[in-house]
Amino acid sequence: MKKVCVTGAGGFIGSHLAGLLLSGHEVSAFVRYVSTGSIGLLAEHEAASNLTVHRGDLRDVDAFRQAVAGCDTLLHLAAHISIPYSKIHPREVFDANTQMTMNALSVAHQEGLSRVVLISTSEVYGSAQTIPITEEHPLHPQSVYAASKVASDQLGLAWSRQIGGPEIVILRPFNTYGPGQSLRAVIPTIIQQALAGDEIHLGATSTTRDFVYVEDTARAILLAGEAPDLDGEVIHVGTGVETSVSEVVELVGEILSKKLSVISEQERTRGEKEEVERLVADPRRAKELLGWEAKVNLREGLERLVRELGEGAGEKVGYQV
């Protein structure tokens, strides 16, 4: 049984990934220490005999080394991911994300791991210049968060070219959604409000995204840790299907048999230079190199999430794409 280290294991995607890995791997989960002792969404799997939880800060190399020791592969998800937060605290987000990536690479190198998978984001491309977005699309970050991921990706690729060992793979998920996601994200906030009433308060609704169900994203990450001959590869995790926010509202309305009306609010809208208008993946490389393609279409995923959130969970929340 391979031993795999997952950073950010208490988060949305990380907890789903850990659950998937536990069916056939020994998992060393690194979660950020908090005074309450909480391990976030990973608590669902805490009783698993093949799970070891390490609490700490990834910027503390000594703490992180304990989690990595004896592992074969590192799946690095830990990051500050909020775009609005990166606007308010740009230095914190940029420094934290790049330093955590540097520490992940250096400790994995020192401990002799065979592979590191760095989890990036489609936000590195900014608004699409061509559709669908291939892995060769120009990088044009429109937020400090996205810039921090560009820097982290380039650091990983440079490490692969110059230093060597472990193998480095960059995975760029497009917009992941599903159970456990922050209720401030666009799909949960639409569903919450739709369950509570007929009015949906949002920012921009013409923006388009490639929505990927979290189980599909987790499966792609697992495959990226195992598939052969991936050193230096950049791979998209997307469906290739472009959907606008307004179309998501329509689908949720159909699922709930409701006629929903959208109220656009300026305070929920990104600035003109910040707004990423279109993001849709070319998923062919993932199929070629990983044998991966999405299994859950958007309607099915929304139906699952509507059931998960349940009736009456409709407080208004902030909007983040």
Could you report how far apart the first and last alpha carbons of the chain are, in Å? 38
- Provide CB contacts within 8 A for 111, sequence distance 6+: 65, 68, 69, 71
Give the domain CATH number at 262. 3.90.25.10
- How much is the pLDDT for 179? 96
Question: Does a structural domain hold residue 187?
Answer: yes
Please name which of 65, 56, 49 lies closest in space to residue 10, comparing C-alpha atoms.
56
Question: Does a structural domain hold residue 320?
Answer: no
Q: What percent of the chain has pLDDT over 70?
A: 95
For 132-169, write each residue's pLDDT tens digit: 999 999 999 999 999 999 999 999 999 999 998 899 99
- What is the DSSP secondary structure assignment for residue 23, as one 8-state letter? T
Quick one: 97 and 134 in the same domain?
A: yes
How many degrees, rounded to 5, is the angle at CA 178 between CA 176 and CA 184? 80
- What's the rounded mean pLDDT across residues 277-299? 98
Coil, helix or strand at residue 171: strand
Please name which of 135, 126, 145, 11 lies closest in space to residue 85, comparing C-alpha atoms.
145
Tokens of 196: 């509570």
Give pTM, 2 decimals.
Answer: 0.94
Q: Which helix (H) or strand (E) holds 175?
A: strand 175-177
Quick one: 133 and 193 in the same domain?
A: no
Quick one: 229 and 263 in the same domain?
A: no
- How much is the pLDDT for 268? 67
Quick one: 126 and 186 in the same domain?
A: no
- Provide CB contacts within 8 A for 47, sequence distance 6+: none
Cis peptide leading into residue 166 (ω within 30°): yes
Per the structure, the count of domains in the chain is 2
Confidence check: pLDDT of 314 > 50: no
Can you tell me the distance from the alpha carbon of 15 to that of 162, in angstroms, rounded to the nearest whole number? 33
- What is the rounded average pLDDT for all residues in the chain? 94
Strands (E), 33-85: 51-56, 73-76
- What's the rounded mean pLDDT across residues 47-66? 95
Quick one: 222 and 268 in the same domain?
A: no
Its domain, for residue 109, covers 3-174+213-237
- How much is the pLDDT for 273? 82
With beta carbons less than 8 A apart as the criterion, state whether 309 and 188 touch.
yes
- What's the rounded mean pLDDT across residues 108-128? 98
pLDDT band of residue 1 (cuts 50, 70, 90) is low
For 221-262, write each residue's pLDDT tens digit: 999 999 999 999 999 999 999 999 999 999 999 999 999 999
Please name which of 40, 48, 50, 47 lies closest in space to residue 15, comparing C-alpha atoms.
40
Question: Does a structural domain hold residue 287?
Answer: no
Question: Does a structural domain hold residue 286?
Answer: no
| Residue 111 identity (one-letter amino acid) | E
Residue for token pair 């989960």: 29
- What's the rounded mean pLDDT across residues 75-104? 97
Quick one: 193 and 301 in the same domain?
A: yes
Quick one: 223 and 75 in the same domain?
A: yes
Question: Does a structural domain hold residue 124?
Answer: yes
- Provide CB contacts within 8 A for 234, sequence distance 6+: 120, 135, 153, 157, 170, 172
Question: Does a structural domain hold residue 35?
Answer: yes
Give the domain CATH number at 69. 3.40.50.720
Quick one: 81 and 133 in the same domain?
A: yes
Can you tell me the distance from the alpha carbon of 28 to that of 3, in angstroms, rounded to the nearest whole number? 7
- How much is the pLDDT for 86? 96
Quick one: 134 and 7 in the same domain?
A: yes
Quick one: 143 and 202 in the same domain?
A: no
Confidence check: pLDDT of 110 > 80: yes
Question: Does a structural domain hold residue 291?
Answer: no
Can you tell me the distance from the alpha carbon of 208 to that of 147, in angstroms, rounded to the nearest whole number? 21
Quick one: 194 and 304 in the same domain?
A: yes
- What's the rounded mean pLDDT across residues 287-296? 99
Q: What is the DSSP string of 140-163?
A: ---SHHHHHHHHHHHHHHHHHHHT
For 171-206, write each residue's pLDDT tens digit: 999 999 999 999 989 999 999 999 999 999 998 899
Residue for token pair 């791991």: 113
- How much is the pLDDT for 319? 36
Beta bridge partners of 159: none
Quick one: 15 and 159 in the same domain?
A: yes
